[in-house]
Amino acid sequence: MCRNIKTLHNFMPPATEDEVRASSLQFVRKLSGFTKPSKANEEAFHRAVDAVTSVAEGLLKSLVTNAPPRDREIEALRARERSTKRFGSPPVAA
């Protein structure tokens, strides 16, 4: 359920609002146990996603580091390599 929660700090280009919101949505889904809330819980669910998004954006803006920014493409390549090492070669599309 939390596969979309990714490290968003210290990347070039910086994380977008959509990426922060997607991670916040996954976090609230995990906490609540809902992938889609009922009508009775919908308002509280969306309020929580908005609040987590706001806090996450504030956190990302306030963090500092001396490390150079990471490149998204290089990190994606490393993730694919780790996946291949762990699960074997990806299936070939027909």
pTM: 0.77
CB atoms within 10 A of CB 72: 12
**Which tokens go with 50?**
């908005």
**Which tokens go with 17?**
């609002």
Q: Map residue 44 onto helix, strand or coil.
A: helix
Written as tens digits, the pLDDT of the chain (94 aa) is 456 678 889 988 889 999 999 999 999 999 999 999 999 999 999 999 999 999 999 999 999 999 999 998 898 899 889 889 988 876 666 5
Find the Cα–Cα–Cα–Cα dihedral 37, 53, 51, 36, rounded to 10°.
Answer: 0
**Residue 68 preceded by cis peptide, ω within 30:** no
Domain residue ranges in the chain? 11-87
